[in-house]
Structure 1
Amino acid sequence: MNLESPKVTVKKPAQYLFDALTDVKNFEKLMPDNISKFEVTGEDSFIFGLKGMPEIKLKMKDKTAPSKIILGAASDKLPFTLTGNIDAISENSSAVQLHFDGEFNAMMAMMVKGPISKFIETLVSNMHKL
């Protein structure tokens, strides 16, 4: 299952956004209002929970300065990645888009598609908070 967030323009340089996103504690600023838990579990991982959803642990898998970061599920039960692509538009603005790629069976994909789409849209919409 592949999902893409809308591309948003943020009035920050690409390197600034990259540095902010590689510091996992900053993801708390991007989370939706219905967050029930956020806990940094290491310098490259965190756990978050949304009301009515299971907790998810994300771990930094890869990063390419200043244009891409890849987070992945720390558990093999629900394998997925969340990729952030950062494109410099000018010296002080960047475009950011999130890509979700998960391997789910058809029933699970049907259940999680809506909530995940909304979740990644919220994350990218909150980029200006960094």
Structure 2
Amino acid sequence: MSVFESKVTVNKTAAQVYAFLADMNNHRQLMPDNIEDWESTADVASFNIRNITQLTLKIDERVADSLVRIIPAEKPPFDMELKWELTATNGATQAAFSITADLNMMMKMIASGPLQKLVDEETTNLAALLS
């Protein structure tokens, strides 16, 4: 398994950050520019990654103020899990975003850069939106 991680501190309470992340409708604001045809509900999001693939993701687990776990709702090109873990720290929140993906050697060479860029961009966008 390959793990791609990024952490950021957000100047909001864990409850505020969790409330934002627990609704898939809000995740469009975190995504990079190459995301198209976004459709979502509170629990599921479907979108195209331009020139790569279509994905449908769903929230699989919510733990109030600490965890949002997202998994594919349909068979993806490779098995993956997306996870937001929140830790309260002195009136702020540390948000750790990770993507765990089951990549073969060829897919790892192709997808590692874009997946790391995705986790970095999502945490950066979260901090910018909620600060």
Fold match (TM-score > 0.5): yes
1:89 paired to 2:105? no
Q: How many residues are paired up?
A: 128
User: What stretches of structure 1 of length at least 5 have no aligned partner?
Assistant: none
Q: Which residue of 1 aligns with 2:121?
A: 122
Moved over 3 A (4+): none
Cα deviation for residue 53 of structure 1 reads 1.7
How many angstroms apart in 2 are the aligned matches of 1:73 and 1:113?
18
Report the residue type matching 1:7 in the other structure: K
| Residues 23-49 of structure 1: per-residue CA shift (max 9 Å, x gap) | 110001111123222111x43110122
Given the two structures, how large is their TM-score scaled by the length of structure 2? 0.89
**Any stretches of 5+ residues in structure 2 without a counterpart?**
none
TM-superposition CA deviations, 1:72-115 (whole Å, max 9, x none): 11223422100101111122x11111111111222122211111
RMSD: 1.5
1:52 deviates by 2.0
Per-residue deviation, 1:70? 0.4
Alignment correspondent of 1:68: 67
Alpha-carbon distance in structure 1 between the residues aligned to 2:37 and 2:75: 21
Greater mean alpha carbon deviation, residues 10-19 or residues 70-79: 70-79
Q: Secondary structure at the match of 1:66?
A: coil
Whole-Å Cα distance in 2 between the matches of residues 46 and 6 of structure 1?
21
Which residue identity lines up with residue 99 of structure 1 in the other structure?
S
Equivalent residues of 2:6, 2:98 under 8 A apart: no
Give 1:56 deviation, angstroms: 1.1
Q: Which residue number in structure 1 is paired with residue 6 of structure 2?
A: 6
> In percent, how many aligned pairs have the same letter?
27
The TM-score, its normalising length taken from structure 1, stands at 0.89
Q: Is the 8 A contact 1:72 1:80 kept in 2?
A: yes
**Does the 8 Å contact 1:70/1:84 carry over to 2?**
yes
> Is the 1:4–1:97 Cα contact (8 Å) retained in structure 2?
no
